[in-house]
Amino acid sequence: MALQRKLLNGCAGIPKFRWLSNEGLRHFSGQVAAPTELPPFDYQPKPYKGPLADEVLEKRKKFLGPSLFHYYQKPLNIVEGKMQYLYDENGKRYLDAFAGIVTVSCGHCHPEVLDAIMEQSKLLQHATTIYLHHAIGDFAEALASKMPGNLKVVYFVNSGTEANELAMLMARLYSGHLNMIALRNAYHGGSSNTIGLTALNTWKYPIPQGEIHHVLNPNPYRGAFGSDAKRYAEDVQDHIDHGTSGKVAGFIAETIQGVGGTVELASGYLKLVYDIVRKAGGVCIADEVQTGFGRTGSHYWGFETQGVTPDIVTMAKGIGNGLPLGAVVTTPEIASVMAQKIQFNTFGGNPVCSAGGHAVLKVIEKEQRQKHCAEVGSHLIGRLRDLEKRYDIIGDVRGRGLMLGIELVTDRKEKTPAKAETGVLFEKLKDLGVLVGKGGLHGNVFRIKPPMCFSKDDADFLVDALDYSLSKL
């Protein structure tokens, strides 16, 4: 490796950070070289003078709930962020390929989003919707303009869990029925109601979960029927026929399952199921908490990739670029059922969150982030599939835009989850300066869902780091 670096450094006009993306040079002498520098970034983090990681962790253990978990054997103390990068207490820069669990859409501390938040904070931080304020109406109008069909009524909440809670309530009131249908492998929240919709045992407490049916997951890689959308849809009809009165309240699904390991539903599935559910008196809910706002690249909303229009759409995470913000968008007809009682959210539509959320929509449009996700995502998935050809541990590379997954297996034929190996690679990537997420029931899927300002150079560095880590496994 020393010889390799000496030769490369002697090549005029080749910056260090570029040669790592050149397959011929990186595999010099048949060995994979370690990436040594992140792509150049013109930003200097402020000197950190706060408490260090050990002290922060100790206080967290003492005063916060024991259900909290952290990534890495030695957890990172992240103290600053800028666009697609994060900085620890020592000023070390990391490539953030997980975006605060798919939450940071525009980029960490994006200046235009920050300006909107700070300007509104100087004028009015909070007053609730019992008074008038233009920010909530302006934001709702802008959000409704992004929706197809008659999805024009917006309810603001504080999180994706709250959004799914409200959507389920709407479905039950509007339909007059109780039974909800969700997918196995889904994640829709951890509250006492949405935990029933969630179908991963790692996230479920043993409490009553009431009138919820989990149908087969249309997973093209692991599913019982492969990519056969029709057979998965028949399973939904079977549940309605045998497990309900024949009538249901609604059906909820992510278009690409996030926590479940970036699983894109079999093509054509939602169109078939929406028809079945509506004939059974139910409404169709699209959970866009992770797939919304252009992240898939090909479309602004995940459900558009399946050619459907839902009755209710829930969203959060990327809507606020880190603000505690979520929303439910539905039709005037469905929304009208909520008027029979008082439906109120103290912080939903807060002026600061509304100003910040509106700024997010403007930035995504101005910077053409959807198109960017398509271009960078296509480049990234192409390079990852090249790795898949070389490393048998990679069982599947999947996803769209900048919502990608890499499933690791110890046996490609049996698709045995490579849980331990995933943990080793996870730590090695962190040491090299790359932060990714993990998902799937067995934690064997790398979730690559970075801020949408993630560049091709960032993508190359990520793949080079993964290549090197795999070569040393």
Report the sign of the C-alpha dihedral through residues 196, 447, 293, 265, in that order: negative
- Answer CATH for 112-367 from 3.40.50.300, 3.40.640.10, 2.60.120.1600, 3.20.10.10: 3.40.640.10
Predicted confidence at residue 32, as pLDDT, reads 87
Residues of the chain with CATH 3.40.640.10: 112-367
Considering the chain, tell me which residue range(s) the CATH 3.90.1150.10 domain(s) occupy. Answer: 53-62+74-110+369-471
User: How many Å apart are CA 94 and CA 97, to the nearest integer?
Assistant: 9
β-strand pairing of 403-411 with 445-448: antiparallel
pLDDT of the residue at 210: 85
Rounded distance, CA 187 to CA 197, Å? 7
Residue 418's nearest CA partner among 406, 436, 400 is 406
Residue 48, exposed/middle/buried by CB under 10 A (0-12, 13-18, 19+)?
middle
- Output Rg (C-alpha) for the chain, integer angstroms: 23
pLDDT at position 9: 34
pLDDT by position in tens, the chain (length 473): 333 333 333 333 333 333 344 444 455 445 888 887 999 999 999 999 999 999 999 999 999 999 999 999 999 999 999 999 999 999 999 999 999 999 999 999 999 999 999 999 999 999 999 999 999 999 999 999 999 999 999 999 999 999 999 999 999 999 999 999 999 999 999 999 999 999 999 999 999 988 999 999 999 999 999 999 999 999 999 999 999 999 999 999 999 999 999 999 999 999 999 999 999 999 999 999 999 999 999 999 999 999 999 999 999 999 999 999 999 999 999 999 999 999 999 999 999 999 999 999 999 999 999 999 999 999 999 999 999 999 999 999 999 999 999 999 999 999 999 999 999 999 999 999 999 999 999 999 999 999 999 999 999 999 999 999 999 98
Task: Tell me the angle at which helices 369-390 and 456-471 cross, rounded to the nearest 10 degrees.
Answer: 20
Annotation: CATH topology of 53-62+74-110+369-471: Aspartate Aminotransferase, domain 1 (3.90.1150)
Structure confidence at residue 153 (pLDDT): 98
Secondary structure (H, E, C), the chain: CHHHHHHHHCCCCCCHHHHCCCHHHHCHHHCCCCCCCCCCCCCCCCCCCCCCHHHHHHHHHHHCCCCCCCCCCCCCCEEEEEECEEEECCCCEEEECCHHHHCCCCCECCHHHHHHHHHHHHHCCCCCCCCCCHHHHHHHHHHHCCCCCCCCEEEEECCHHHHHHHHHHHHHHHHCCCCEEEECCCCCCCCCCHHHHCCCHHHCCCCCCCCEEEECCCCCCCCCCCCCHHHHHHHHHHHHHHHCCCCCCEEEEECEECCCCCEECCCCHHHHHHHHHHHCCCEEEEECCCCCCCCCCCCCCHHHHHCCCCCEEEECHHHCCCCCCEEEEECHHHHHHHHHCCCCCCCCCCHHHHHHHHHHHHHHHHCCHHHHHHHHHHHHHHHHHHHHHHCCCEEEEEEECCEEEEEEEEECCCCEECHHHHHHHHHHHHHCCEECEEECCCCCEEEECCCCCCCHHHHHHHHHHHHHHHHCC
